[in-house]
Every structure is written in C-alpha cells, then in structure tokens.
Amino acid sequence: MSQTTFPVKKILVLLILLVVPGSVYYLLKAKGENRYRPLSIYGPKQPASTFHTKRGKQIRDTLYHEIREFKLLNQNGDSVSFPVDSAQITLVNFFFSRCPTFCSDMNREMARVAKINNGNRLLRFLSISVDPEYDRPDVLKAYSQNYRTENPKWDFLTGDRKLIYSLAKQDFLVDAIQDTTRELNFIHSPMIVLIDSKKRIRGYYDSTGGNEKMNLLVDEIRVLMTEELRNDKGR
C-alpha cells in the first residue's frame, strides 16, 4: 500500500509546484493591473493639436474637461481657492444647511471618508452650499462642527449664488436648482465628485447608495493617489 500512495503524493506535490506559481503570477500581474488601471475621465473631450508617441506611433493628445479656478468663502469667512493646492486631489459635494432630505446623510458619508483619510496630505474636502444667502459663514461654522472634526482639511463654502450654480452645472456637471414654487426646495445632486490634481473629474459617487458606493470611493481615492504619485515621482 505504501508503494501505491508514494507516487500519488509525489504527483500532487509536483502539481502544486507547477500550478501555484502560475496562479500567483496571474493574480499579481493580471488582477493587479486591473485593480490599478487609471480611473475614467468624465466630461466632454476634444482632440488637441499636440501629439505623443507610444510604441513608435504618434497619437493625438486629448483635451479633457477641467474645473475652472474659483474662490468662495469658508465657514471661518476666509477666502478659499480651487484648486487649494495644485498637487492635491479634491472631493466636492453640494448641500445646504436647512436641507430636510439627504444632505445630512451625504455629509455623514463625506465625514466617514474624511475620517478614513485624516492626515492624508494629498486630499481636500469641499462642501458647497446651494443656499448661500442663508448659509453665511457663521451658519456654516455651526453646521460644520457636526462633521469637520473628522478632518480639518474640509471646508464648507458659500458665496455668489450665480457662480455656485454655474460651477455646479457647467464645471462639476451636476444639478443645482432652486424651485421657487416651494419654500426651502433646492434641487441638487447627491453625488460626491472626485477631482484629480489637474482639475479633471475622475468619479461620481452616489451618497445615497449605501456602504457599497462609499467603499468604492475609498478604494478609488487610493487608485487615483497611486496614479498621481506615479505621474509625479518627486511629490
């Protein structure tokens, strides 16, 4: 019986030695590449007049949609510029302090992501009010105390209504509308928007989508950070 079992054991060992390295290579190579594939770039795009070379071929560059530079006031009455820093990734959402629906849940989700990334020097958080006449800096200061303790690099912004609504629609490509037929009815997006250091939109995440959407956001922040660091070795 021992003569029969020995070859079987030997064959199993050989199979393990042959199969396992190949499986590990596949997981590290193929799956690894999929996991860290660059995120999509959202918004309108058009061909540029410049080219780059890839594998000996000239490929036309692409001009991607970018968020314009702007300034708004934060909860302390200080002027905050976008981009805050040319080397940073930014998370942006639109809300208002008197919101009777999903705003508190949206900012709780932002707070959860902010807490996970507390101390991350590459990431900023901006929450922009769509009710700027009421949401003055002092109002936002009181409101932000419920959330901002999770991360000091989180600003709650207010300013000119026309600018804010224009930014929402034309730059961040989300809704921001006041329904004048009803009191306290501001129609705005529940999306949290991920912006890279080049001011391009890299992701939309539905704050009403539960843990699955927010976990995806946390993962894709890491993917984008990896991409940013690979593109700028000196940062």
Binding positions are 99, 103, 188
Q: Which residues are annotated as a binding site for Cu cation?
A: 99, 103, 188
Cα 230 to Cα 144: distance, rounded to the nearest angstrom: 34
Contact between 153 and 126 (Cβ < 8 Å): no
Helices 103-116 and 211-231 pack at an angle, to 10 degrees, of 40
Report CA torsion sign: 181, 93, 43, 220: negative
Name the token pair of 207: 């704050």
Q: Check: CB of residue 117 under 8 Å from CB of residue 150.
A: no
CB 105 within 8 A of CB 195: no
